Structure 1
Amino acid sequence: MKAAVVPELGAKPEIQDLPVPEPGPGQVLVRMVASGICHTDIHAAHGDWPVKPNPPFVPGHEGVGIVEKLGPGAGLHAVGDRVAIAWLGSACGNCSYCVSGWETLCESQQNSGYSIDGAYAEYAVADDRFVVAVPGEVSSLDAAPLTCAGVTTFKSIKVSRLQPGETAVVFGIGGLGHLALQYARIFGARVIAVDLEDEKLELATSLGADHVINARDTDPVEAIQDLGGADVAVALASAPKPFEQAFSSLRRGGRLVCVALPASGTMSVPIFDTVLGGKSIIGSIVGTRADLADVFKLHAAGRTKIIAESRRLEDVNACFDDVLAGRVPARLVFEF
């Protein structure tokens, strides 16, 4: 099979011919149909984060494909089912986090395309318990970004405790941000979009943003406070400064939700303002299998729109360059 392999941290992915993997106990073999490109895949290849993957490895955690073979003991899905392979490749199922509905915090979890091989390949093996069925009404091209960008931002809006009529601001309108603003609207909020590129702000407007702010030529904190301040700010940018701007844009009682993971990941927070303003900072990491099922249901019902471009796996390095250069309106998806 053809796969994009990171041979060592910091090296460019290479297209290699690998044997088709055999599903082990409790696993399924999935023939990939589509696989989205997430900025996390680039961080993984570069070894940007404190916990690093062990090369060589195959990135990818927005995989959608057809189950072709069942390993011993696998039976939750059948051959021919279309399923999604998400970031949460598996979890123990027994710890306090797993049994309380927070499986994404399990300390024994495995992550697709990071600690285990992922979906940048023609075939992938996955835990039968952790792949999620894709409804027939959702195309594979749309399902791929929903498998990470969708479920991650859906979860961030859930944990923000956003209420109808409140104001939400989304910092960074890209693969995640274009979905975050849609979920905020579904929750009944007034939505402000912040980005550095007019093209992305035009996209935000087309998706229903009530206000847009170009942070390249306007102070976003001042502009948001002039609009009354934000009850919720979702930080999706790839640099720390927008996180601090997002916090400063909050009104009293506001909640900052940190989602993106910049390589230089430190932000400064004023203690006095945090305490007297009753402000909260919330970390939100992807979503559960149940969250992903809800994301698919919303999309099948026509409540969300995916902005994605199809690419070939052979162009993986050009795709990474486009993402890093900000040339991608929202999401790129490999189609096999």
Structure 2
Amino acid sequence: MGYTTSTEIDIPKTCKAGVVENEGPDFKLVVEDVPVPQPGPDDVLIRLNTTGICYSDIHYMLCDLPIPTMSSFSVRSPGHEGAGVIVALGTNVTNWNIGDRAGIKPAYDACFNCELCWSGKETYCHESPQIGIQFPGSYQQYLLSPARYTSRIPDGVDDFSAGPIMCSGSTIYCSLKESGLKPGDWAVFPGAGGGVGHMGVQIARAMGLRVVGIDGGEEKKELCMKLGCEAFVDFTKVDDVAQEVVKICDGKGAHGVFVTATSASAYATAPMMTRISGKVMCVGLPPEGTAIAGADPLLFIGKNLHIIGTKVGSLLDTQKALEFASRGLLKPIVEVFPLSKMPEAVAKLRSGKVAGRLVIDFNTWE
């Protein structure tokens, strides 16, 4: 058989997966049966209980980012934030046991033989492929993961929380860490009520930062204030969002603005919200060519402004984000959909009307 499984675990020949038809602006997602893969010598096979639905998945299905398409790798299922249990082990795998809880992250693997990998920047490694683009993603219930790059889910963190933390929580933890902000500093989150933003609010608060949320609508405001924002700015009601943020932040502006929104306006206004030596952290992925992160050079010079981009979190970042959750300091707010409703969940996220994170329950059909 070439791998190890348990007589107590029945591994089917096929499993359900959300697959993309007609990728591009008119893409369609359907749920159908696909073959269950067999692990290679260094892989584990994971049966997912949950997967989060991330807006990056929408980008991949729309093909609106400057990256290769899913179809160019013969991949049909996106997704990169899954949580479940290991049901089979490759013959070389000794650091995992069948039944262990495990998570899937955006980065599929890394070379572990370059300075980026050695310095904890392995998600930037040139040999770090992306799951859900180059390999089948977490919209598929049974999928493979390299044993060395699979994340352990700690006790006390349920799969409905762990799945979204694999991407959203880890990504925003990484950005907060790289910002260098200190307790008592002001952290502002455009897109604070979204999947990444609402976790950023919680982690920033746990780090001792003073948090301002920016988003639109009463539902987002209620969520942000509940999670620990000191103030909320509703961009649908406030004429000059940047001016209002500066006013809230001691009249000087934010120490850090974490742009988790993907709109051009969010990126355009962020530099205006900072104080002297402030940092604009670029996190949200706008469609190619639709936004600019920056400002007039005179503003950069006059404010000692820093513009910094951060990608998805590393193995260590993921572990740290999960630790916040295990300590009760991070609790993703999720809306759960049954497996048959995965297309509806994707459509809802694409519409931009989601507070928190959408999660698919693979163990419930409808």
| Shorter-chain TM-score tier | over 0.9
Tell me by how many angstroms 1:265 deviates: 4.2
CA deviation string 1:134-191 (max 9, x = no partner): 0121111111111111001111110111111111100002111111111111221111
Moved more, 7-16 or 106-115: 7-16
Q: Distance in 1 between matches of 2:228 and 2:100?
A: 34
Structure 2 contact 267–291 (Cα < 8 Å) conserved: no
CA deviation string 1:63-114 (max 9, x = no partner): 1111000113122211110100000110111122111211011111111112
Q: Distance in 1 between matches of 2:296 and 2:204?
A: 27
Q: Which residue of 2 aligns with 1:226?
A: 247
Q: Which residue of 1 aligns with 2:19?
A: 5
Verify: 1:253 aligned to 2:277, yes or no: yes
How do 1:278-293 residues align onto structure 2 when only pairs under 5 Å count? 278-293=304-319
Moved over 6 A (4+): none
Q: Which residue of 1 aligns with 2:324?
A: 298
* TM norm structure 1: 0.97
Verify: 1:317 aligned to 2:349, yes or no: no
The code of the aligned residue for 2:141 comes to: E
The code of the aligned residue for 1:299 comes to: A
The code of the aligned residue for 1:248 comes to: M
CA-atom RMSD in angstroms: 1.2
Verify: 1:206 aligned to 2:220, yes or no: no
CA deviation string 1:198-256 (max 9, x = no partner): 21111000011001000112121010121221010000112121012111100111000
Q: Distance in 2 between matches of 1:226 and 1:158?
A: 25
Tell me by how many angstroms 1:16 deviates: 2.0
The code of the aligned residue for 1:189 comes to: L
* TM norm structure 2: 0.89
Structure 1 contact 87–112 (Cα < 8 Å) conserved: yes
Structure 2 contact 80–106 (Cα < 8 Å) conserved: yes
List alignment gaps of at least 5 residues for structure 2: 1-14
The code of the aligned residue for 1:164 comes to: P
The code of the aligned residue for 2:327 comes to: A
Verify: 1:74 aligned to 2:74, yes or no: no
The code of the aligned residue for 2:246 comes to: Q
List alignment gaps of at least 5 residues for structure 1: none
Structure 1 contact 3–16 (Cα < 8 Å) conserved: yes
Q: Distance in 2 between matches of 1:330 and 1:163?
A: 26
Q: Give the secondary structure class of the aligned counterpart of 1:254.
A: strand
Q: Give the secondary structure class of the aligned counterpart of 1:126.
A: strand
The code of the aligned residue for 1:26 comes to: D
Tell me by how many angstroms 1:313 deviates: 2.5
Structure 2 contact 70–132 (Cα < 8 Å) conserved: no
Verify: 1:266 aligned to 2:291, yes or no: yes
Verify: 1:54 aligned to 2:95, yes or no: no
The code of the aligned residue for 2:255 comes to: D
Q: Give the secondary structure class of the aligned counterpart of 2:184.
A: coil
Structure 2 contact 213–229 (Cα < 8 Å) conserved: yes
CA deviation string 1:302-336 (max 9, x = no partner): 11122001112222221122112233211111111
Q: Which residue of 2 aligns with 1:140?
A: 159
Verify: 1:88 aligned to 2:94, yes or no: no
Structure 1 contact 120–313 (Cα < 8 Å) conserved: no
Q: Give the secondary structure class of the aligned counterpart of 1:334.
A: strand
The code of the aligned residue for 2:117 comes to: C
Q: Distance in 1 between matches of 2:120 and 2:166?
A: 18
Equivalent of 1:217, from 237, 254, 257? 237
Identical positions, percent: 34
Q: Distance in 1 between matches of 2:342 and 2:69?
A: 19
How many residue pairs are counted as aligned between the two chains? 336
Q: Distance in 2 between matches of 1:21 and 1:246?
A: 45
Q: Which residue of 2 aligns with 1:188?
A: 208
